[in-house]
Structure 1
Amino acid sequence: MSFGKRVIAWLIDVLVIQFILQVFLIGFLNFRSLYYDFLLNQSERMDVDLEAIGGIFFESGFFFKFAVVLSVILSWLYYAAMESSKLQATVGKLAIGSIVVGEMNERISFGKASGRYFGKIISSLVLCIGYLMVIFTEHRQGLHDKMAKAYVVDKERLAAYLAETEKNMDGVTKIA
């Protein structure tokens, strides 16, 4: 799968993840607002310091830290769950017609997909050379793909290859 197509898939996935993240964050802000109103009501009736009962929930910077942690968790679950599912691809990869497979063209496990996701951190170090490897390696693998022993392949070409291989194997078994 070419580098350009993989960039397009990545951009689509970023949009999907951002949409999901925004839904969670808006829900969190609504919950926080309701909680703040509740605490404000309680502090007026009991003459209690709002900051004392609100705790870390209203600390400056808490929302930013929460958003970063939530973003990492959602991204990891999105990539690992989608790539290890029966679809074998994220929404972006499906849009460009590619899937993620293991060394024997099999569906990868959630653990392997997780390793591939966290390997992207290493791929992004030092000017994203791990991603640029897709341009230069024989099987168009990035560093994170090599680490997970995974491949991003064109779904139609893989299906044709497997059909041809099966056809050739039928011929071999008939001879024997």
Structure 2
Amino acid sequence: MLAWVIDYVLSLIVTLFIVLPIGFLYGIMMMGSATGPEIEASAEGLGHTLGIVIAWLYWTVFESSGWQATPGKRMLGLRVTDAEGNRIGFGRANARYWSKILSALILFIGFLMVAFTRRKQGLHDLIASTLVLRR
């Protein structure tokens, strides 16, 4: 949980540093051809889309990298592996990331499963055949 909080804050900071300048430039480019509310709505849509992409890449790229962990997991001495303890690829990290939506949609039961499974796996880990291990 602490690793997730650390990563959430870090990914939010990264997102703000990327999205805000792009949003301002986008708004400036639209000046004269759109009204204020149109610019605001369009920039908001762009910001949401970029936020989703940045969060997805943050978790997926870090977990499939040589680190095998996001910065938050790394700070706490954790790593994400396949069922045999090997580094996961981008595809498996991608499956793990998107299946967290399912873990959350079912009243977060997919995350609570960690407390009740033999290998401490959440639903997203079972779907992607991954483990979170101590270094």
> What SS class does the counterpart of residue 66 from structure 2 fall into?
coil
Q: 23, 45, 48: which one pairs with 1:68?
A: 48
* TM-score, structure 2 as length reference: 0.91
Structure 1 residue runs without a partner (length 5+): 1-6, 40-49, 156-176
SS in 2 for 1:119: helix
SS of match in other structure, 2:108 = helix
Counterpart amino acid of 2:65? S
Higher helix share: 1
Match of residue 20 from structure 1: 14
Look up the equivalent residue of 1:113 and give its one-letter code. Answer: A
Could you say which residue in structure 1 is the equivalent of 2:23? 29
Query: Is residue 3–residue 76 contact of structure 2 (8 Å, CA) maintained in 1?
Result: yes
Rg bigger for which structure? 1
Shift of 1:33: 4.5
Q: How does 1:27-176 map to 2 (within 5 A)?
A: 27-36=21-30, 39=31, 50=32, 53-54=33-34, 58-155=38-135
Q: Which runs of 4+ in 1 moved over 3 A?
A: 57-60
Task: Supply the RMSD in Å over aligned alpha carbons.
Answer: 1.8
The residue identity in structure 2 corresponding to 1:136 is: F
Residue segments in structure 2 that go unaligned for 5+ positions in a row: none
Structure 2 match to 1:10: 4
Q: Give SS of 1:10's match.
A: helix
Contact 2:23 2:46 in 1 (8 A): no
The number of equivalent residue pairs is 134
- Aligned partner of residue 127 in structure 1, secondary structure: coil
The 8 Å contact of residues 63 and 70 in structure 2, kept in 1 or not, is answered as yes
Helix, strand or coil for the counterpart of 1:117? helix
Instruction: Name the % identity.
Output: 33
Q: For 1:152, what is the secondary structure of its paired residue?
A: strand
